[in-house]
Amino acid sequence: MKNKGLKILLCVLLVLCIIMAGALIGKEYIGDNIKEAANRNGVDVVKDTSDTEKEDDNAVDSTAQGTGSTQSDATKADATEADTQQPQMSTIVITATGDCTLGNNQEQSYDGSFNSYYDSKGQDYFFGGVRDIFEADDMTLINLECVLSDATDRVEKRWNLKGKPGFIGIMTGSSIEACSLGNNHTYDYGQQGLDDTRNVLDNAGIVYGFNDHTGIYETADGTRIGIVSVSLLSQNGDREAYIQNGIAQLREQGAAIVIACCHWGIEGDHYPNDYQQAAAHRIIDWGADLVVGNHPHVLQGMEVYNGKMICYSLGNFCFGGNKNPADKNTAIYQQAFTLINGELQPGIDAQIIPCTLSSVSSYNDFRPTVASGEKAQEICNLMNTYSQNYSKIEIDGLGKLHVN
């Protein structure tokens, strides 16, 4: 009985297996036929396309970014073209000072001299009170009224002015980029003294003018400033020719602004003589944009002639040649020149910065200092007085120059 029952159970299980296998085969067959029928009747079969959609979205984003980049590039190109069509305006600020003797005269004792101050205080002391002004401009110009040399054979004259070659650091350390050498102390120690001075200036990269040697300083934006410098104390026409020819040469070399530095006038006189005025007018007519005068050792008036400024004398500034000059008034002259597409525009935007040549009033400590309060107003008032006979200009209490 056990064997018969087992046989029956095995038969039942076999039948069940056959039935299940048939069901599976039938399901696959039916599914395939449904897909074929759906395809034949144009019905979309829905599938999981999330990965493909991401790829498609990325492709769309990439296309959009490419289009945006193209548009951005086109916009930048248009802006660049527009910029090149717009006038290119620049402003160049030039600062000028009076006589700077960075050294002693041959008769001075060491105590209280310029050299003693250098030894005790170092090179950065002297222009410490005005260095920020020099650093903020595009070019600073001084009249270097001494030689920088170790030469000892001096020319026989009343005053011989000399500093050590190492004193050049006083200039380079205080943002002084240019100087005039055309003065009556250039040959105080003969040709050797002059040659040494020129070598020192060349090695320091400081631009200078002297007779037929003209200098060009190029600003950070590429504007070229030309300098011509001559002593006109002899009132000789041949010396004036240095200036006329120098201006023409500088223009040929691409100078957009030309400054003529003239050593002239009478010491101690606050008013220019007839020769100074006539020569200044000629120099402007020859094409100078600014005339800066020195030699009188005191301030003289200013004049506007044919739209250009003439500073007849800026007095002493950092002056080692005298331990205690009676007149310590001085001034920094500063002018902003506007250029459009490299061409200098008309108009005068200028000021004086009233100063004293010493930070103390009882002696010369060789440290030019910006004046303030009543002293500043006094110097501005004096400059108005010195200038009133030459043109209708007015200097206000802040030193701003107004052309009436």
Neighbours of 31 (CB within 10 A): 10
Sign of the alpha-carbon torsion through 386, 390, 394, 398 = negative
Give the pairing type, strands 393-395 and 401-403. antiparallel
Domains: count for the chain = 1
Q: Is 343 within a domain?
A: yes
Q: Is 74 within a domain?
A: no
CB of 232 closer than 8 Å to CB of 264: yes
At 223 the pLDDT is 98
At 9 the pLDDT is 55
Q: Which of 369, 296, 305 is closest to 331 using CA atoms?
A: 369
CATH number at residue 206: 3.60.21.10
Rounded CA-CA distance 354/98 in Å is: 12
Cβ-based burial of 42 (10 A; exposed 0-12, middle 13-18, buried ≥19): exposed
At 49 the pLDDT is 35
Domain encompassing residue 96 = 89-403
Q: Is 26 within a domain?
A: no
Q: Is 298 within a domain?
A: yes
Rounded CA-CA distance 133/189 in Å is: 33
Give the pairing type, strands 178-180 and 139-144. parallel
Q: Is 244 within a domain?
A: yes
Q: Is 328 within a domain?
A: yes
At 32 the pLDDT is 44
From the CA atom positions of the chain, what is the Rg in Å? 42
What are the structure tokens assigned to 177, written together? 């980029």
- pLDDT means per 10 residues, the chain with 404 residues, are 49 51 42 38 34 41 44 54 76 98 97 98 98 98 98 96 98 98 98 98 98 98 98 94 98 98 98 98 98 98 97 98 98 98 97 98 98 98 96 93 92
At 55 the pLDDT is 41
Q: Is 81 within a domain?
A: no
At 79 the pLDDT is 53
Q: Is 214 within a domain?
A: yes
